[in-house]
Chains A and B, each alone.
Chain A
Amino acid sequence: GQQVMQIPQYQHVQEGEDFTTYCNSSTTLSNIQWYKQRPGGHPVFLIQLVKSGEVKKQKRLTFQFGEAKKNSSLHITATQTTDVGTYFCAGESGGGADGLTFGKGTHLIIQP
């Protein structure tokens, strides 16, 4: 079945440093989504990427979808304490009501 690998599992950064998490799928994806889960909370949708090579930005967050639609990355510039949490990528191979396949997530820990 479809697998979505995500690295790193943990990332410690000093406040103000940049942060990147990477996702790689075993199969070509129709789209990839990114979610953020704050400690003790539930995942919240950040963005969806659909097109090959797509790049989207949300303030300090930059999302990329690979040309082959099998990998993706999330980059945060100049991290802030509010960025703390776990970032999950979630891939989908078909279009429809199938469940998303989530990566294991990257836990971002920020030291002031």
Chain B
Amino acid sequence: GAVVSQHPSWVICKSGTSVKIECRSLDFQATTMFWYRQFPKQSLMLMATSNEGSKATYEQGVEKDKFLINHASLTLSTLTVTSAHPEDSSFYICSARPRPEAFFGQGTRLTVV
């Protein structure tokens, strides 16, 4: 099956700093990737759709200036949480759909202290 690799798997940062999360498709090219946020015991909330070579499409209520998405190549999308605050602490997961089903990265657990 297709492999999506996400890094880092966990990160702790200080309030006010920025954190970059990488999502790579290892054995396929992804013109589109998806970024989700998941709170404990909650569902996956789609934050944005990352499009290679163009601007990301953000879901309603997601601040695009806070969650910067870059999709500069067909195998890499990055999510940068800027000026992170404790309320940004969450589990962030990326996915891609080279076939009808979605393949997810391992997820990144972000803790802002």
Chain A positions within 8 Å of B, measured between CB atoms, are 31, 33, 35, 41-45, 48, 88, 90, 97-105, 107
Contacting pair B107 A42 (CB below 8 A): yes
> Do residues B41 and A43 form an inter-chain contact, with CB atoms below 8 A?
no
Binding site for A on B (CB under 8 A): 31-32, 34, 41-44, 46, 49, 93, 95, 97, 100-107
Report B-chain residues with C-beta under 8 Å of the C-beta of A104.
42-43
Query: Do A99 and B46 touch across chains, with their CB atoms under 8 A apart?
Result: yes
CB-CB under 8 A from B106, the residues of chain A are 41-42
Residues of B within 8 A of A100 (CB): 102
User: Once bound together, how far apart are the Cα atoms of A90 and B97, in whole Å?
Assistant: 13
Q: Is the interface of B mostly helix, strand, loop or mixed?
A: loop
The complex places the Cα of A104 from the Cα of B40 at a distance, in Å, of 12
Contacts of B43 on A, CB cut-off 8 Å? 88, 102-105
Q: Are B101 and A48 in contact (CB under 8 A)?
A: yes
7 pairs of A and B residues whose beta carbons are closest in the complex:
A45-B101, A104-B43, A42-B104, A97-B32, A102-B44, A99-B46, A99-B34
Q: How far is the CA of A36 from the CA of B105 in the complex (A)?
A: 14
Q: Pick the contact of B41: A45, A97, A107 (CB < 8 A).
A: A107
**A48→B43 CA distance, assembly (Å):** 19
A87 to B15, CA, bound (A): 33
Closest residue on chain B to residue A45 by CB atoms: B101
- Whether B100 lies near A31 (C-beta < 8 A) is yes
Contact B104 A97 (CB under 8 A): no
* Complex Cα spacing A24 to B100, Å: 20
A65 to chain B, nearest CB (A): 14
**Distance between B99 CB and nearest chain A CB, rounded to angstroms:** 9
Nearest residue in B to A34 (C-beta to C-beta)?
A: B101
- CB <8 Å contact, B93 and A33: no
